[in-house]
A = this chain, B = another copy of it.
Amino acid sequence: MHGAMIRRSGVTIEDVAAAVGVSRQTVSRVLNGSPNVKPAVRERIHAAIEALGYVPNLSARRMGGGRSYVVLAINDRVRTLENWQARRGNDYVDQMLFGGMTACEAQGWHLVFELVDTDPAHARRGLANALASLRPDGVILTPPHCDNADLVALLAEHGIPCARIGHREGTSTIDVFMDEVAAAGAATRHLIALGHSRIAFIAGAANYGSSALRIAGYRAALAEAGISDALVGDGDFHFETAERVIAALLAQGDPPTAVIADNDEMAFAALHIASARGLRVPEDLAVVSFEDTPGVRFAVPPLTAIRQPVAEMIASACSSLIALVEGGGAPARHEIPFELICRASTGQDQR
């Protein structure tokens, strides 16, 4: 068949250029928003792109030396599904995917996830491999990678902008975080306003930055109300440990009438103990949680909780990275507002 060419793939920039009667570079300029294109030509190129259904090939763009239009989100790798789900609440990733993809897509970018070992020796190598193979334009580090200075340094060496979730000390990075101190304070003050003075805080892990900040906020709110007794229990984010810790607190001479748990799973442990001992919630024991996974609405009773705005945080990280790459400017810090959602476990009626 004379003149027929075998096409390895779909519509290319040359096809658009040929259809309009301009060079590929002019089409490229339109794609990349260069100002120096005659309005009439720009119009015709847009029409041709639409008509032909042209979409730029991401790999080719990357090869051309331009941007990759890819944001890489780094999560910690775990071995089993159980560990993965227990990691940081099982809807953390769900929210990441939603928030991140929605934000990236709105700008014509893509979000790619990669798992990297937390172990420092493997972490650097894992990130380096991901960078080499994907060549992202920006990287998001989630906990606990966000606290790994080595990874931040590696990204700086490569000149790749970095956003950190749940970290607030950065100067060279985009830090996106919520005010953990204020959130714990709000939860504590909510209970104090309801008349409680024996309020326990079940911490997740001493070495987690967020736990320490929350304990500080809790203590500050108590102090502010003139309550001298802080009742901090050492949990590990898991049900069984929390059960023991809460049981021990309740066995004291002057037991708590309210519990703040560092995540939902531990709040469920509080409900479970209350149920087992015939304590009414919230009358005998009020419960507040940090996290607000969808399931807490269906607990018996539904849990009052500080909502962790994960989707918003990731969306903000993506938007900021994109803005940084496309518009220049300097990395900034973004505090995302938290929310205290009052439900039946502290006496409110709503679900």
Report the Cα distance A271→B297, complex, angstroms: 13
Which residues of the other chain, B, contact A101 by a CB distance below 8 angstroms?
Answer: 113-115
Give per-residue flags for A306-337: 1 if the beta carbon is below 8 A from chain B beta carbons, else 0: 00000100000000000000000000000000
A204, chain B: closest CB distance, angstroms: 16
Q: How many residues of A contact B (CB 8 A)?
A: 63
Stretch at the interface among A80-88, A141-149, A214-222, A251-259: A80-88
CB pair B272 A133 closer than 8 Å: no
CB pair A91 B95 closer than 8 Å: no
Closest to A80 in B: B98
CB pair B59 A58 closer than 8 Å: yes
Give per-residue flags for A42-74: 1 if the beta carbon is below 8 A from chain B beta carbons, else 0: 000000000001111111101101001000000
Report the Cα distance A9→B114, complex, angstroms: 20
Given A101-B115, A300-B300, is A90 in contact with B311 using a C-beta cutoff of 8 Å?
no
Partner of A112, one of B85, B95, B110: B110
Which residues of the other chain, B, contact A93 by a CB distance below 8 angstroms?
Answer: 93-94, 97
Q: How many copies does the complex hold?
A: 2
Query: Would you call A247 an interface residue if the criterion is a C-beta within 8 Å of the partner chain's C-beta atoms?
Result: no
Give per-residue flags for A246-280: 1 if the beta carbon is below 8 A from chain B beta carbons, else 0: 00000000000000000011001101100100000
Give per-residue flags for A287-309: 1 if the beta carbon is below 8 A from chain B beta carbons, else 0: 00000011101111000000000
Partner of A90, one of B53, B102, B294: B294
Which residues of the other chain, B, contact A133 by a CB distance below 8 angstroms?
Answer: 55-58, 110
CB pair A95 B110 closer than 8 Å: no
Query: Would you call A8 an interface residue if the criterion is a C-beta within 8 Å of the partner chain's C-beta atoms?
Result: yes
Query: Would you call A129 an interface residue if the criterion is a C-beta within 8 Å of the partner chain's C-beta atoms?
Result: yes
CB pair B59 A84 closer than 8 Å: no
Report the Cα distance A68→B57, complex, angstroms: 12
Query: Would you call A193 an interface residue if the criterion is a C-beta within 8 Å of the partner chain's C-beta atoms?
Result: no
Query: Would you call A166 an interface residue if the criterion is a C-beta within 8 Å of the partner chain's C-beta atoms?
Result: no
Query: Would you call A226 an interface residue if the criterion is a C-beta within 8 Å of the partner chain's C-beta atoms?
Result: no
Query: Would you call A10 an interface residue if the criterion is a C-beta within 8 Å of the partner chain's C-beta atoms?
Result: yes
Partner of A98, one of B55, B81, B99, B112: B81
CB pair B113 A58 closer than 8 Å: no
Partner of A9, one of B81, B135, B239, B265: B135
Query: Would you call A105 an interface residue if the criterion is a C-beta within 8 Å of the partner chain's C-beta atoms?
Result: yes
Which residues of the other chain, B, contact A213 by a CB distance below 8 angstroms?
Answer: none
Query: Would you call A134 an interface residue if the criterion is a C-beta within 8 Å of the partner chain's C-beta atoms?
Result: yes
Report the Cα distance A59→B67, complex, angstroms: 12
Closest to A54 in B: B132
CB pair B110 A134 closer than 8 Å: yes
Query: Would you call A11 an interface residue if the criterion is a C-beta within 8 Å of the partner chain's C-beta atoms?
Result: yes
CB pair A57 B269 closer than 8 Å: no
Which residues of the other chain, B, contact A9 by a CB distance below 8 angstroms?
Answer: 135
6 contacts between A and B (CB under 8 A): A90-B295, A92-B94, A97-B113, A113-B113, A269-B298, A299-B299
